[in-house]
Amino acid sequence: MKQNISLLGLQWGDEGKGKVVDNLANDLDAAVRYQGGHNAGHTLIVNGKKIVFHLLPSAICHENIKCYVGRGVVVSLEALFSEIAEAKEVLGSIENRLVISPACSLIQPYHIQLDQLREQSNNLTKIGTTGRGIGTSYEDKVGRRSIRIADLYNEEKLRDKLEQSLEFYNSIFKYSFGAPEIDLNELYEINLEHAELLKPYVGNVIEEIRELQNNNKKILFEGAQGALLDVSLGTYPFVTSSNLIGGVSAGTGISPSDIDYTIGITKAYTTRVGEGPFPTELFDETGTYLAEKGGEVGATTGRPRRCGWLDGFLLSNMVKVSGVDGLCLTKIDVLDGLEKIKISTEYKSQHTSGSLIETMDLEEVEPVYIELDGWTDPTSGKTSFNELNENAKSFIEKIEEIAGVPVIMISTGPKREDTIIREKI
């Protein structure tokens, strides 16, 4: 098995990363999150109980895996503590298995308030964010005014930074939105309380990862969201605020050349939550069929996911820019019973401002489809490639041809064992 593995969704998130992590878990020693925050959502069944993790790496539910939250993650301590409490109920204490970098930027209540006020405003572009203060916290990071976890342990600095932040945010709340202001003393006290609770989890992520690497341990770098939501290479401005592609290095402190293998995950069709262009979106009964059969409801916000055909143009582009070595294809069983299955391979029209790969401006494009025969013999629950019907095999081979990389794992149902492993990495 390769040692440093990066795992990345290749669509607009919700590709089923939790299940892939679950399948890799037996071979792993550590898992690392490097971007995003509690906007992510991995639904997991642990000891028969359903839990949704947003901030913790989804590998936390495997007792043998040590988990890290790298500096690229924006951390809401309220969300973190509620997740730790939930995890404790089913997993016992995770104190000695969770390490959080003191260089992480914090999400403060004013980030959440501003994110939500902007989304509710009729005068501003609606991104359809999760309303959790992710983008607003990253704005402070790039603006070099974040309050980082390390600042919690210097009371004078913390108070000073909170005061500066509130001066800025409260004037926006008051004058731009007529919204309630946030009290400095209250916020300072909450931060101090959180600082004490957080202490056991703060540690040296870079050093610990280097040590794991020196001892030939296997480490998984878990990307949240999906490549099309990458702030730089995704469908801007309808993206999240972090770099998924190439983000491992900046978000953890390991070298870019350390990654031995990149796994890309794609559903057998496409979904999207939030606003923004979605060229292969279906508004007919097939879209409804995919949504219902696939249980396509957002794990973080409960919003229904928009559904459509697999977009081969975007897939092959995301495979290339992310350096994907092998693909995991999830939810193929959702296509069981469809008479015809479409995959878009290119677009008819292009903007004049630059190639689509350059701009990712998908507002006015029209997809060109290939149509494949569906299947009646279900793929659901199958565990070997040879057991699949010929049409399902052709569908998978077509995806390999379009993406230019092998499909190494296929998920054929929600259970852990509903999986075909074609190549163990």
Min dist CB 131 to ligand IMP, Å, is 7
Is residue 46 within a helix (H) or strand (E), and if so which, with residue range?
Answer: strand 42-46
Q: Which of 108, 240, 262, 412 binds ligand IMP (CB under 6 A)?
A: 240
306 part of the interface to ligand IMP, by CB under 6 A = no
How deeply is 175 buried, as exposed, middle or buried, from its count of CB atoms within 10 A (0-12, 13-18, 19+)? exposed
Nearer to ligand IMP, 39 or 146 (CB): 39
Residue of 279, 320, 226 lying closest to 11 (CA atoms): 226
Residue carrying structure tokens 């945010």: 169
Scanning 7-15, 247-255, 375-383, 399-407 for contacts with ligand IMP by CB under 6 A, the matching segment is 7-15
229 part of the interface to ligand IMP, by CB under 6 A = yes
Min dist CB 248 to ligand IMP, Å, is 17
Nearer to ligand IMP, 9 or 396 (CB): 9
Q: Which amino acid is at 176?
A: S
| Per-residue interface string for the shown chain with ligand IMP, residues 206-225, x marking contact by CB under 6 A | ------------------xx
Ranges within 110-139 binding ligand IMP (CB under 6 A): 127-130, 132, 134-135
Nearer to ligand IMP, 274 or 326 (CB): 274
Min dist CB 224 to ligand IMP, Å, is 6
DSSP string computed for 263-332: EEEEESSEEE-SSS--TTB--SHHHHHHHHHTT-B-TTT-PBPEEE-EEHHHHHHHHHHHT--EEEEE-G
Nearer to ligand IMP, 268 or 420 (CB): 268
Strand-strand pairing, 74-75 and 105-106: parallel
| Distance of alpha carbon 171 from alpha carbon 177, whole angstroms | 9
Nearer to ligand IMP, 139 or 208 (CB): 139
Nearer to ligand IMP, 72 or 135 (CB): 135
Q: Which of 14, 119, 230, 311 binds ligand IMP (CB under 6 A)?
A: 14
Min dist CB 242 to ligand IMP, Å, is 8
Min dist CB 392 to ligand IMP, Å, is 26
Nearer to ligand IMP, 57 or 274 (CB): 274
Scanning 6-14, 17-25, 157-165, 249-257 for contacts with ligand IMP by CB under 6 A, the matching segment is 6-14
Residue carrying structure tokens 């007792």: 63
* Nearest-10 crossing angle of helices 390-403, 312-322: 50
Ranges within 21-60 binding ligand IMP (CB under 6 A): 39-41
Q: Which of 247, 253, 274, 367 binds ligand IMP (CB under 6 A)?
A: 274
Residue of 302, 77, 335 lying closest to 193 (CA atoms): 77
Min dist CB 42 to ligand IMP, Å, is 8
When CB distances to ligand IMP are compared, the closest residue is: 274
Min dist CB 135 to ligand IMP, Å, is 4
Nearer to ligand IMP, 184 or 250 (CB): 250
DSSP string computed for 145-180: -PPBGGGGG-HHHHHHHHHHHHHHHHHIIIIII-PP
| Per-residue interface string for the shown chain with ligand IMP, residues 343-362, x marking contact by CB under 6 A | --------------------
Helix/strand number for the chain, H first, E second: 12, 18
Ranges within 164-193 binding ligand IMP (CB under 6 A): none
The one catalytic residue in 38, 42, 54, 194 is 42
277 part of the interface to ligand IMP, by CB under 6 A = no
CB 41 within 8 A of CB 56: no
Residue 216's contacts (CB-CB under 8 Å, 6 or more residues apart) are 3
Active site residue 54: no
| Distance of alpha carbon 389 from alpha carbon 255, whole angstroms | 43
CB 267 within 8 A of CB 258: no
**Phi, psi (degrees; rounded to nearest 5) at 344:** -85, 140
Active site residue 183: no
Taking residue 122's Cβ as centre, other Cβ atoms within 10 Å add up to 5
Local structure of 392: helix, strand or coil? helix
Number of chain residues interacting with ligand IMP (CB under 6 A):
22
Please give the positions annotated as active site. 14, 42
Interface residues with ligand IMP (CB under 6 A) are 12-14, 39-41, 127-130, 132, 134-135, 224-225, 229, 238, 240-241, 273-274, 300
